[in-house]
Amino acid sequence: MTLPQSEAPAELVAKYDRSGPRYTSYPTAPVWTDAFGQAEWVAALRQADERADQPIAVYVHLPFCQRRCLFCACNVVITKREDVVEEYLARLFLEIDRTAAEMPKRRRLSGLHWGGGTPTHLTSDQITRLFRKIEQHWTILPDAELSIEVHPPVTSREQLETLRGLGFNRISFGVQDMDGEVQELIGRDQTVDQTEGTLAVCRELGFSSVNFDLVYGLPGQTAATWDFTLDNVLRLRPDRLAIYSYAHVPWLHSHQKRMPMERMPEPELKLELLRTAARRLCGEGGYAEIGFDHFAVKEDELARAVDEKRLYRNFMGYTVRPASDYVGFGVTAISEVGSAFAQTHGKLNRWNEAVDDGEFAVARGHQLSLDDRVRKLIIERVMCNQWLGFDEVEALAGRPFQELFAGQWQALAEMEADGLVERGPRHLGITEMGRLFLRNVCMLFDAYLPEEEVEGRFSRTV
């Protein structure tokens, strides 16, 4: 992405900086309800079993951390008690067994991701036992993506050797920021040496891809501290980078109230941090921008997919290997099976109770209508490829695009005047500047987002 290096678009920031979803799904999670429960989830699994020729992808949520980072919006359990982890694994195995029993024909797996929390909170023995449980039910395809999130300060060489020996080929580090003061303000303590040392071991062991997660918009971040972080990133050169906007949602995560608001970057600076990252990574770093807020070395398959407009996105991230069904296990895990979303209970005790009672721990979900599926397609194509061809939309909807979305087409005219999009006769394209405001473009197609309900529910778009 080659962004203008001079004038900061302050007027565009003021105009478009509002609360809005990140669109890791559509419809977004706040729309889901408890009207989707046990019966609906079992029906979705059984319908998915009829797609026996297609592989599935699996996500496992491992919520445990030794300490809480103040910026974090993930579902975590802070503990050092071994018995808590062992009890969780025992229930997780039951959940996996019950789900596999509803899908006896679906026996191939194309993707596996372990997230958290801190998956390397588990010992090497626990990691192995969990992996073997998954292997008990699914045949892992030779080209499957097996990925895991790790926290370098608590990840040992033994754990990395275990993971690599089991076949994990992709690994993601939580880095966030490398400046010591910024880390202190967000309750984190991870040195550059720890990150570099863990990266060196991963490369020695032969992981095919290493990703760094960074976060912009954190307290204490300045142009100088961000350059320090980027200097180290460019020196270490991970294969992929995810650079997320900090989501300040203290009404959902009360620990975020401890973040020093007076040290937060102003919206203009926050946007400039992203612009600086894009300029440096895509310039001197030689990275390609992937979808929205992700980067990869140009040899990476994701970079090739962008050029060919065949990039996809799911709850596990960007991929070139879309599965027809994604099944999540563990507390607060999300699944996408067929045209249904489902999420398990977010409270550990509630999830425990459901599993102990022999139930699926489904807390809420959503069955997608045709309109949902059409809008989901549009939002996915915009977020992934920054380009939308109307033929694909019309084939699914059965009606002309501009007839279906006449109001949105007019609203896009204003964005076109602002230099964010280009409206073609048979396509919608996002400009280089428009990539900074992708969420705003997608919000035009969100049928569940009345103006009066936006503020206070989501993080800021800029």
Mean pLDDT of 326-354: 96
Q: Which residue has the higher pLDDT, 258 or 369?
A: 369
Evaluate if residue 8 carries a pLDDT over 50.
Answer: no
> pLDDT class for 108, splitting at 50, 70, 90?
very high
> pLDDT class for 408, splitting at 50, 70, 90?
very high
Query: CB 284: neighbour CB atoms within 10 A?
Result: 10
Compute the chain's Rg from CA coordinates.
22
Domains along the chain with CATH numbers: 20-329 (3.80.30.20), 369-462 (1.10.10.920)
Q: How far is the C-alpha of 309 from the C-alpha of 228, rounded, in Å? A: 33
Alpha helices (runs of H) in 206-259, residue ranges in sequence order: 223-236
Per-chain mean pLDDT for the chain? 91
Q: How far is the C-alpha of 325 from the C-alpha of 55, rounded, in Å? A: 8
Instruction: Tokens for 159, please give them.
Output: 């754990």
Asked whether the beta carbons of 230 and 277 are under 8 A apart, the reply is yes
Q: How far is the C-alpha of 46 from the C-alpha of 417, rounded, in Å? A: 49
Asked whether the beta carbons of 440 and 450 are under 8 A apart, the reply is no
Ordered DSSP codes for 134-177: HHHH-EEEEEEEEEEEE-GGG--HHHHHHHHHHT--EEEEEEE-
Give percent of the chain above pLDDT 70. Answer: 95
Q: How far is the C-alpha of 87 from the C-alpha of 82, rounded, in Å? A: 9
Q: What is residue 271's predicted lDDT score, i.e. its pLDDT?
A: 84
Residue 44: what residue type?
A
Angle (CA) 307-311-312 rounded to 5° is: 170
Compute CA distances 124 → 119, 157, 291, 335, whole Å.
11, 10, 34, 27
Q: How far is the C-alpha of 409 from the C-alpha of 228, rounded, in Å? A: 42
Q: Which residues contact 356 (CB under 8 A, 6 or more apart)?
A: 91
Q: How far is the C-alpha of 412 from the C-alpha of 424, rounded, in Å? A: 11
Q: What is residue 275's predicted lDDT score, i.e. its pLDDT?
A: 87
Evaluate if residue 105 carries a pLDDT over 60.
Answer: yes
pLDDT in tens, 166-188: 999 999 999 999 999 999 999 99
Q: Which residue has the higher pLDDT, 304 or 391?
A: 391
pLDDT in tens, 134-167: 999 999 999 999 999 999 999 999 999 999 999 9
Give percent of the chain above pLDDT 90. Answer: 71
Q: Which of 342, 334, 358, 354 is nearest to 37 (CA)?
A: 342
Query: CB 391: neighbour CB atoms within 10 A?
Result: 10
5 by Cβ neighbours in 10 Å (0-12 / 13-18 / 19+) ranks as exposed
- Decide the pairing of beta strands 108-116 and 56-62: parallel
Q: How far is the C-alpha of 462 from the C-alpha of 217, rounded, in Å? A: 9
pLDDT in tens, 285-308: 999 998 778 999 999 999 888 888
